Amino acid sequence: MQRFKCIVTYDGTHFAGYQVQPNKRTVQGELERALKKLHKGEDIRVTASGRTDAGVHARGQVIHFDSPLNIPLEKWEIALNSLLPDDVAVIGAARAAEDFHVRFDAKGKEYRYFVHLSSRRDPFKRHYAYQFPYALNIDSIKKAAAGLVGTHDFTSFCSAKTEVEDKVREIQEIEVVEEGDMLTFRFKGTGFLYNMVRILVGTLLEVGSGERDADSMPAIIEEKNRSAAGKTAPPQGLYLWKVFY
Amino acid sequence: MQRFKCIVTYDGTHFAGYQVQPNKRTVQGELERALKKLHKGEDIRVTASGRTDAGVHARGQVIHFDSPLNIPLEKWEIALNSLLPDDVAVIGAARAAEDFHVRFDAKGKEYRYFVHLSSRRDPFKRHYAYQFPYALNIDSIKKAAAGLVGTHDFTSFCSAKTEVEDKVREIQEIEVVEEGDMLTFRFKGTGFLYNMVRILVGTLLEVGSGERDADSMPAIIEEKNRSAAGKTAPPQGLYLWKVFY
């Protein structure tokens, strides 16, 4: 058996999320279906760096799986892509050590969130950015973002539905970039809780709209209560951009 | 009655084309459905600058229609967009003279065609560009394009299915722009025949691949025979970009 590590990109629009669910179309389901075909009916289990929700995209999701097949490395990408539907693609394959684990060995992740600053709907952006029609104070957003960087208990920024107990995470960097009518948030951290990036963005947009103070982030973190933070921004603006090892 | 002229943008992916067809989802069908609602059940006929095929997009389609409604001009866009599905949007409305005709009064059109130069599938571009994995000589394409500009009988570059008799059209400009992994063709002309831009692109890509000579365009035009030109490039790369009045 050989362990393989692949980088996977997908348009999350027509998926019920990454993780396998009965009777739903999922990214994991499509990857395992393709691997099963390649292995002539044998079930191959895929492990990912983490789940993504319905409608959330990935530019650099990473997966691992074990295979007895003796296919040259450069053929893995071609073979898998020929079996995958057109909204998911493998963009890199490598051999990995047998004890490599795509989730436990991840050193950090980058997520990006795209906000389309416009009062006008754009049919070409509807699945790929969150349309936000109200005026924003970008300087306030940047100031508030600085108050989120660091190692904190992010309970306030985590869906109450989570089962994870330890909610301490480190956000290493938040970049806020305005280019034309697109506002991009780039989050780098050691790990992110369930819905964390979307709640961070929702809260920062409330700061930008003047509904919250730019210096209120430490107090929200301190409360350790989901209701202290802002709304969860919608999924279509979110991209799992890169996983660091 | 007042005649209105609107600019319309749509993602053609999930439409069976612009023009109404029985039991198919079309852009015209959605526009007329929205207008009928706005007019409390009265049928309002929409006329467009031209049709687009299934999968073809528009950034600047133009339509006209007549309405007895006394809605302030700035409210038309908002009212229609609230009734339209999210893959089609009105991005401008103006009053027009009662004898204005969106097709007959058009002085020219711009189409753009996007080619994604990559051997790798990109799930985010699959509906919005034509993935082309082979090497291209861009200078040959530019040279061939120059041989297409001017007033010609474009029978060779027109679907044999057309009913139009006069196939003389003027191409005013063809720009070929390579930026990163995206090759963009910009066509400006007085008018375009059925499938003409897609056949022009298909033929120019055959020049770029070395299957045809860069100086062979005048001979293809001369033949006045569809089979003399190249393949019809697929619809998803094509955008009706602008209509000139």
**Interface pTM (ipTM) of the complex?**
0.92
Q: Which helix (H) or strand (E) holds B140?
A: helix B138-146
Q: How many CB atoms lie within 10 A of CB B20?
A: 16
Interface touch B9/A88, C-beta < 8 Å: no
Nearest to A154 by CA among A116, A125, A192: A192
Identify which of A88, A91, A128 has the shortest CB distance to residue B120: A91
Residue found by looking up tokens 């699945």 in the block: A127
Interface mutation target, options B121, B236, B239, B241, chain A, most CBs of A under 10 Å: B121
> Domains of chain B by range and CATH?
2-96 (3.30.70.580), 108-244 (3.30.70.660)
A161 pLDDT higher than 90: no
Identify which of A57, A89, A122 has the shortest CB distance to residue B120: A89
Confidence class for position A240, pLDDT limits 50, 70, 90: very high
- Could you tell me how many CB contacts below 8 A there are between chain A and chain B? 42
Residue A229, strand partner residues: none
**For residue range A216-239, what is the model confidence (pLDDT) as tens digits?**
999 999 999 999 999 999 999 999
Q: Say which of B11, B53, B66, B86 is annotated catalytic.
A: B53
The C-alpha of A177 sits at a distance from chain B's nearest C-alpha, in angstroms, of 21
Query: Is position B139 annotated as part of the catalytic site?
Result: no
DSSP assignment of A39-99 equals: TTT-----EESS---TT-EEEEEEEEEEE-----HHHHHHHHHHHS-TTEEEEEEEEE-TT
DSSP assignment of B62-126 equals: EEEEEE-----HHHHHHHHHHHS-TTEEEEEEEEE-TT--TTTT--EEEEEEEEEE-SS--TTTT
**Interface of chain B against chain A, CB under 8 Å?**
9-11, 57, 81, 86-89, 91, 120-124, 126, 128
**For residue range A30-80, what is the model confidence (pLDDT) as tens digits?**
999 999 999 999 999 999 999 999 999 999 999 999 999 999 998 999 999
* Residue-level pLDDT at B163: 82
Nearest CA in chain A to B88: A123
**For residue range B189-216, what is the model confidence (pLDDT) as tens digits?**
999 999 999 999 999 999 999 999 999 9
Sign of CA dihedral B34, B40, B43, B46: negative
The C-alpha of B121 sits at a distance from chain A's nearest C-alpha, in angstroms, of 7
Confidence class for position B162, pLDDT limits 50, 70, 90: confident
Interface mutation target, options B15, B120, B127, B130, chain A, most CBs of A under 10 Å: B120
A22 pLDDT higher than 90: yes
d(CA B150, CA B173): 8
A162 pLDDT higher than 90: no
